[in-house]
């Protein structure tokens, strides 16, 4: 969606904004806010809070970022709130134990990478994007301020959170600062005068606390809108880098395309709805046809959004070649220094994997080889301590199904 649709009728705005939404509290409030915005010309203030505990983003994050982009395209201002201060506490949502705290410096370093990747989705025009850090108002708060804030919410209501209830019943300790996290996050909405707050379904409780606090501070309560957590490529768990079931926002286009071609058939509708603007009627048509064709459309739509200039025909040809057990034509080449050769003139396979960026360490490379994860010129290589001869034309090493590198000897 490349045009700003400021003057769409409210019903059309609602239809666009509700697409893929899991929770909406409440639709009547959102309609009223949109109607007022249309009448007055004042944009809504749409907040997304992010604790930058990890610097890398994937398509799971893009689900909410795309919803922010839709608000921007309707002329509203989205507020990217970096929780540099709340990350010090550590969001206990979904955690079975207390999270180790981060330093303010760590969260701000992560935030820089986070923001650079957000630019792949969000408009950067200051009229529709505001960047804030919650240390701005939370760090100066004194002990008396915290006590006054804590007096506005009861322990009973905080303990209604499902993860707190489970930890209590299981005898797992809950640190007092964790009980303050929802309250602290909720106060962000007060400080920003948010009209709408976005989040994953796991953030519903925290976001509703913000709605309640705004009412207590004599502000109009924010609308709470949650988006589903995107299931990863394993078809079971939510998308996560730690589970290696993710598609990164900064993946090379051919890698993103290939991963999207492997999305489980059962998740196609979900991915189309949450990650594309393909009309619902067209989605139904695609799902009724052959799954391979639906995958091709999905891969093109999503990859084109993040890499508009990518050659998607070449990406498809590459995927098809790899799927047939072949080696694609355009793969990176690396010259191996002669100093890395053994006395016999061969080169340790694990070292070649590290030089090609297929693994980060020799130990990881050897484990990959031991797990049958390396091929040399299309053939399995099974010797973790083994070495390879490098002819003048080089050899092609391959990790998994779609990571290739041509290794050439130093001339």
Q: Which residues are annotated as a binding site for ATP?
A: 241
Distances from the Cα of 366 to the Cαs of 214, 332, 351, 376, in angstroms?
55, 22, 9, 14
Q: Residue 68 has what DSSP assignment? A: H
Q: Are 63 and 230 in contact (CB under 8 A)?
A: yes
Closest CA to 370 of 380, 357, 354, 383: 383
> Where are the strands (E) in 122-195, listed by range?
129-133
Are residues 132 and 82 in contact, defined by beta-carbon separation less than 8 angstroms?
yes
Three-state helix/strand/coil letters over 301-354: HHHHHHCCCCCHHHHHHHHHHHHCCCCCCCCCEEEECHHHCCCCCCEEHHHHHH
Reference 294, options 254, 245, 261; nearest CA is: 261
What span, in angstroms and rounded, lies between the C-alpha atoms of 406 and 334?
6
Integer angstrom CA distances of residue 343 from 61, 334, 387: 49, 21, 11
| DSSP strand pairing (387-388 vs 129-133) | unpaired
Residues of the binding site = 241
Q: Do 172 and 96 meet the contact criterion of CB atoms below 8 Å apart? A: yes
Angle at 74 between CA 69 and CA 76, to 5 degrees: 80
Q: How many CB atoms lie within 10 A of CB 96?
A: 10
Triad 7, 20, 186: Cα angle to 5°: 85
């Amino acid at each position: 969606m490349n045009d700003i649709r400021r003057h769409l009728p409210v019903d059309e705005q609602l239809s666009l904004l509700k697409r893929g939404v899991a929770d909406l509290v409440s639709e009547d409030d959102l309609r009223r806010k949109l109607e007022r915005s249309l009448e007055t010309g004042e944009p809504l203030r749409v907040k997304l809070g992010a604790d930058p505990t990890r610097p890398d983003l994937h398509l799971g994050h893009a689900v909410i970022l795309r919803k922010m982009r839709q608000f921007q395209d309707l002329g509203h201002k989205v507020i990217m709130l970096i929780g540099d201060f709340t990350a010090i506490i550590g969001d206990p949502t979904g955690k079975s134990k207390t999270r180790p705290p981060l330093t303010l410096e760590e969260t701000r370093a992560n935030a820089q990478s986070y923001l650079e990747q957000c630019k792949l989705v969000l408009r950067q025009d200051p009229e529709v994007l505001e960047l804030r850090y919650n240390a701005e108002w939370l760090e100066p708060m004194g002990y008396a301020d915290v006590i006054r804030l804590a007096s506005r919410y009861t322990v009973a209501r905080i303990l209604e959170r499902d993860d707190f209830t489970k930890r209590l019943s299981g005898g797992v300790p809950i640190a007092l600062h964790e009980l303050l996290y929802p309250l602290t996050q909720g106060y962000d909405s007060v400080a920003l005068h948010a009209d709408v707050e976005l989040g994953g379904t796991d953030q519903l409780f925290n976001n509703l606390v913000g709605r309640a606090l705004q009412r207590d501070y004599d502000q109009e309560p924010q609308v709470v809108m949650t988006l589903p957590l995107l299931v990863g490529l394993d078809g079971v768990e939510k998308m996560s880098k730690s589970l290696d079931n993710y598609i990164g926002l900064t993946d090379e286009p051919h890698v993103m395309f290939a991963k999207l071609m492997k999305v489980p058939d059962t998740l196609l509708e979900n991915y189309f709805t949450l990650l594309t603007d393909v009309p619902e009627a067209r989605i139904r048509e695609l799902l009724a046809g052959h799954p391979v064709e639906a995958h091709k459309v999905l891969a093109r739509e999503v990859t084109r959004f993040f890499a508009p200039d990518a050659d998607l025909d070449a990406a498809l040809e590459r995927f098809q070649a790899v799927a047939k057990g072949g080696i694609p034509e355009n793969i990176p080449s690396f010259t191996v220094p002669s100093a890395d050769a053994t006395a016999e003139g061969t080169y340790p396979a694990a070292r070649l994997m590290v030089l090609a960026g297929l693994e980060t360490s020799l130990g990881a490379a050897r484990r990959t080889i031991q797990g049958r994860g390396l091929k040399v010129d299309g053939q399995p290589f099974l010797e973790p301590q083994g070495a390879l001869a490098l002819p003048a034309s080089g050899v092609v090493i391959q990790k998994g199904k779609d990571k290739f590198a041509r290794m050439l000897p130093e001339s």
